Each structure stands twice: as C-alpha cells, then as structure tokens.
Chain A
C-alpha cells in the first residue's frame, strides 16, 4: 500500500527473486566463522573467571606451557598499557587486568596444536582469586550498601551523592508536567522490570587470526562490522589499523551482538606470541552466554495522565539499566528516547540512570533499549485504557505521532507511518476472530530511529556486461538481494546479472557495521549512486563512439540510447556491448560512492497478539500474532516479512521465557539453550505480517530500515494479552508459567 509521490511501478523493486545465498546455505557451502582454516593453524582456549567479582592475585601458566604442543599463553601482561575511555573498556573486557568483573570474564588464553590440547592446557593454568562482594540486580547495585564495582567510573552527568555504581545520568523533556497531570481525568503510575536477554544468534563467535611480531596481521571473523573489528583489535593490541586486514565470514545471526569485539584480539595476540602461526578461536554456547553481550536488564517507573476520551496529557519515565561492569554499555539513553516516541504528548519528562553490575558487558540488541521502554509505557497505557473502558488501539491512533509533530525526544518528525500502521492493524482480519475462554488479545506500538552512517560502495562493470557490487555491510538479513535489486533496477538489467560481495577492509573505505537497520538503506543509497556514476561513464563511451556529445545520450533499459531525435539515429548500445570493448574505449568502468548517509526515515509498527493461558499451569500459548510495520519501501518483501517475523519471535521469547538466571554466588546458571529457553518453531503460529509503505523521501527508492522495530511491541503486547485473558497484570519479565500462575492465584485471592 504505497502512499507517496515517488514512482511506485518498478521492474524489480517489490518482487521476490531467489535469494543469492540460498544455494550455498542449504548445501552447506556457505563458510561461517568456524569454517575458516589455514596451514599451520593453532587452536585457542580461554581461561575464564568462575567468580562474579574477584581480585586476580596470581596467574601461573607453567604447567600449561609444559604440555607438548602448547605454543603460547597470554595474560593481560601481554597487552599494552595506558589505554583510556572505550579502548580501555574493550581491552579490560577482552582480558581482565587486576579484577575479574563477572562470571566468565577472560583472564588468560592458550594456543596449542589441537583444540582438545588447548582446552586441557587452559585447565592447567592456575589462577588464584580473592573473591570480592558482587551485585547482580540493577536496583540492588544502586543501594548505599552495594559493593562498589569500579570507583571513579561515573561521568560528569551524575549528581553528587549517588552510589559510585551509578555512572551516567540523563534527563530531558518538555512541557508543563504539573499542568499536564492536572488536566488528566486519570493519573496512574506503575513499576516494571525486564531481565537481560541474549541475542541468541545460532552461530557462536568464531575467528581465525594471524599476526606477526611486526604488527601486520589478518583476521577472518564472524562479525557485523569488519572495520569495527579492525579498529577495536588494533586499539586493544596497540597496533596500526591499516596493518590488519579483516575479512568477514558468512554470519549466522548477530542482532547487534556482533558489532563489537569480545575475544578476537586474543587470537591475534596468541598468534603474535606463537611466532605468527594462525590461531582459531571458537566460543562454546556457554562462553557466548557467560561472556558476550546480552542486552541490559531494566527497572522502570512510568507515570501517565489521560483524559476520559483517551488523550494523553502528560507522561514521565524513570529508567534504571545495568549493562555490566563497563560504562556506556547500557542503552538507557536510547530507551528514554524511544519510550514515548510513538505519541504526541504536551508534557513529557525522562530520567535515566546507567548502573554497573557484575554481569557481562552488554552489547546492542535489536532496537537497543526500545523493547524495555515499550514494555513499561505500552503496558501502563493498556492498563489505563482498560480502566477507562477505551480501546487501546483507538487511543494509540488518537495520540499517534505524525509528520510535523515534535518527537518526545525533541526534533520534529518528517514523514512517518505510525498512523498508517495502526489503521492497517485495526483493519486486519485477526481482530475479528472471536476469543474463547482463557483467551485474550493484546496490542502495542513500537518505534526505532534507524541509522545511516559511514558507507563506502564500489561497483564494476564486467566484460560481459554483468555487474559486481562491493559493499562493506555484512548480510545479516537479505541485504545482498535488496542491494542487487536496487542496482539492477537502476541499471536496467536483470537481477541475476548483479553479484553483491561483502568485502574485506582493504577493499573499500571505512564502513560502519550492519547495525541500526542501515545496510539496505545506506549501502543501497550508495550502490544506486555508484550505478549512476557507471551509467554516466557508459553514456560517455557510447557518445564517443557515435561522435556526439555525452549530454546527448541517456540510459534506458540497460543500454545507452540517443537522448532524442536531434541526437542522431543510433541503435541502443547495451551494457554488454559497452563492457565488451571498454578496454579499448578508455579502460575499466566502475562507480564509487562514499557518504555518511543522511536522510534516515524513522520506523514505526503495531502488533496484535491473541493468547490462551492455561489456568492450571500458567503456560501461555500464542494463538495468532500480527505484525504491521512501515517499511518505507519493501525492496524484497519476503525478506522484509522475515525481519518482521524474526523480530516478533525474539520479542515473544523475551516476553515469555528468556532470562539470565544467576545463583546467589553470582554465577550464571543457565548457560545452554536447554536452560536458556528461546522459542522454537513448534512454540509459535505463523507470524502474520502487513507491510505498510510510506516511502522515506531521504532514499532513492524510499527505503526505511526494517530490522529492529519488530522486537519492540511483543513484550507489552503479550503482557496486555495475558492480562486480558486472566485479569492478572504482570509487570516483570519473563512471563514464564510459574510467574503467570502465581499472578493468577494472587488475583483470585484478591
């Protein structure tokens, strides 16, 4: 349902061709991080802290080094000193210095001639610890008697008198809060909590690193951003970025968790110490869960004022989030900015605290911060609608942010599609399905900013007229197909005539990772511009051959043609003809575009879910689930639908099952997928999707990012549905069967 003035009829855009990576993936030919090997390769294993917080008194690797086949052991003493800021945080998280800050924190690493030998040697590394008091819960970490994790970490923003674990404070807002709440017919305030969840990518972190004593090295790695790997590894190791070449492998999921480093510098440091032999390092699932970035856990207060007709008059939020033991890791700023972004409210106030805790260093996870914020705000909105006898979707539409409105975080919105998404959700057939006993329907809206970022793309015309596009954004969700389609559309050639390659750091200018839903948007924008450059060159080649001005030639359906009757009569010169003779007409033809992409279009969506709750067990069954989201323009609708479905499924897992379970000793207790319960296919119905298209005027084909908003509404939508089914309101995630059952019983007992 495109709603725009841009061209709506395309030859390829909006169609569903075969995915370019499909055959490789179903036949096992696709090479993931652990599939890369090299002659003379060593294998690495990591020694990890069994304590949540402990001083490292002594490390003795002599027994490990005595094993035949062990080639190197590294500790923090093998790394440069004097790093500051984020670089220090990265180094400290890669390998602990004086103190282990969480269960699973790396303290040493071993390289040996086999994986088993490396694991045996790691067990022989003796580490003496002095166990320190620890704190896991975000609210507990702010209490006056909480153990101090790293004194002096707090930045300028923290008011005096707060606990040293509070390291960042944010506040913003606008409007008269007192007047806003005074104008309301109903004012309610509630508190909500969400537990940390992991991105749950199927492929664990894996890399192969090689580095000589001269600091020159190579890395093959599973990552969302090869330039980030290069920059971060070089900073941690004290080497020059240009001397490290990083090649991304195929990627088995990232969702934000592979936008940073966790263990990659260890492979390089081990290689350097082992005489430059390549070192492979592959994490186990337990290592992934213990020592790579989950999202933050959150404790949140929300207060809202609403008139009897559903008009929201004022809202305030107070969020506390921990992102592990490192400042800057929690998404509290993003959470605050997303909290009320769906609505136009005359008076809003946001407060947020980032808090240190003895947990792994959090990483980005799909719309970082927005799902937690939505859980709190959209749950309270639903509660108030129930109390006032209003339809929550109607209330959302009544207050919905629109083009020209001031966003809750400040600026004025450009063209956005929340209203269209809500209207499409309200019109969907799922809402007309009657519900039975113990069944309930819930809804919620969601938002994500989207991002442009540093982008460099190169395009080359082949001798046969086919086209190679080199991009720097790893394909996590179908970007190769969408980039190939936009390139082919622009050039007027077949989709199958374009190959899109994800290239290494030596092949292009700096690219940011695939994050912020930017790959199809930003690399697509750059690919289109690169194609236009190549078109201009091909028109010039044809003009030279025809003996007319280049301005008298235009590009049509994959060929250069005279621009009009006055340009002369020449048959179209196809891209294949131009490519075949480009060596004798001026040399290779290519196009490049480098940009920090602007023109980003914000993303909004609305979800509706029906559940049935077993009153005997508290188990929630998702009966049907609807995702409606504005894509701007869906280049390859099947991939867009996949993003919507994937986001919803991860949100359902976050809402119903997933959580980090810590023991009293601060050790993570559920370190495998049997115990850390992500949804599987048999848990879910087919997720229904509706693609709304309100094209983004900042992109040549109207693209908005689609990767992140989909995870935002499921948390509150499920809470609202469970409340509708049972009458019991859950304000703490996950809504696992025991918690739902307890809430039902508490409700029954008044």
Chain B
C-alpha cells in the first residue's frame, strides 16, 4: 500500500482523512485508486494537482511508485 498525503483542502472530500492508503504501482494507479475510493475528489484531481514523490514533482503518470515513497498531493504551481 502507498500512503498519499492530502493537503487539508482535499480532506473534506475524503472523509477528513489526512493520509489515505491505496494500492498501485504507478502514479496513475494510485490516483485512480484514490478517486475510486473517494469519488468526491474527482473534480479536484481533474482540475489538476501536483504529485510530489520523495520531494520531487512527478509529471509522468507511468512513473513507478514504491510503498515506501513519500507521496504528497500539493497545489499545482506555475512560474514566471
């Protein structure tokens, strides 16, 4: 299982949980598992979030995820 840390704005769409454990071997699989378990998160995920894995923003949805990885969903960032 992979632990996904939610920023608190997401928590009300996920039963006030701070950390959600899901099954999956890639970024795509864990996000799919997350919205399957908590459908209310779907519009937020669709609107765009940044996925931080071990402190790095990962944009490749096929990137492998290890159960020991630190995974955070954070605000999508744009730069100047």
Contacts and interface: CB of A to CB of B under 8 A. Distances in A.
B5, B76, B80 — most chain A CB neighbours (10 Å): B80
Contact of B57 (A334, A412, A452, A707): A452
Interface of B: 5, 7-9, 13, 43-44, 47, 52, 54-60, 70, 72, 74-80
A155 B56 CA distance: 27
Interface in A306-344: 331, 333-334, 336-337
B55 A412 contact: yes
A169 B80 contact: no
Contact of B58 (A171, A364, A414, A598): A598
Contacts of A256: 79-80
A600 B80 contact: no
Contacts of B5: 410
Given A170-B9, A171-B8, A708-B80, A336 B75 contact: yes
Nearest to A338: B77
A517 B8 CA distance: 28
Nearest to B7: A172
Given A156-B43, A334-B77, A407-B55, 14 more contacts: A155-B43, A170-B7, A256-B80, A257-B80, A333-B77, A336-B75, A364-B78, A368-B78, A410-B7, A414-B56, A449-B57, A698-B56, A707-B80, A708-B79
Contacts of A366: 80
12 contacts: A171-B7, A171-B9, A259-B80, A364-B79, A365-B80, A407-B55, A409-B75, A410-B52, A516-B77, A517-B79, A598-B60, A708-B79
A364 B79 CA distance: 6
Interface residues of A, number: 47
A676 interface: no
A333 B76 contact: yes
Contacts, number: 103
Contact of A411 (B44, B52, B77, B79): B52
A156 B42 CA distance: 11
A173 B76 CA distance: 16
Contact of B55 (A155, A171, A414, A596): A414
B77 A449 contact: yes
Nearest to B78: A364
7 smallest beta-carbon distances between A and B, as pairs: A516-B79, A256-B80, A172-B7, A333-B75, A410-B72, A364-B80, A411-B52
B43 A411 contact: no
B78 A599 contact: no
A516 B80 contact: yes
A205 interface: no
Contacts of B59: 452-453, 596, 598
A701 interface: no
Contact of A516 (B54, B70, B78): B78
A518 interface: yes
A693 B11 CA distance: 39
Interface string A117-157: 00000000000000000000000000000000000000111
Interface in A334-383: 334, 336-337, 364-368
B55 A334 contact: no
Interface string A187-226: 0000000000001000000000000000000000000000
Contacts of B75: 170, 172, 333-334, 336-337, 409
B11 to A, nearest CB: 9
Contacts of B43: 155-156
A515 B80 contact: yes
A600 to B, nearest CB: 7
B43 to A, nearest CB: 5
B26 to A, nearest CB: 15
A227 interface: no
Interface in A595-617: 596, 598-600
Interface in A256-301: 256-257, 259
B77 to A, nearest CB: 5
Contacts of B57: 449, 451-452, 598, 600
A91 interface: no
Contact of A515 (B55, B72, B79): B79
Contacts of A517: 79
Nearest to B40: A156
Nearest to B18: A174
A18 to B, nearest CB: 27
A639 interface: no
Contacts of B7: 170-172, 409-410
A337 B8 CA distance: 13
Contacts of A411: 52, 54-55, 70, 72, 74
Nearest to A254: B80
Nearest to B72: A410
B79 A449 contact: yes
A82 B14 CA distance: 33
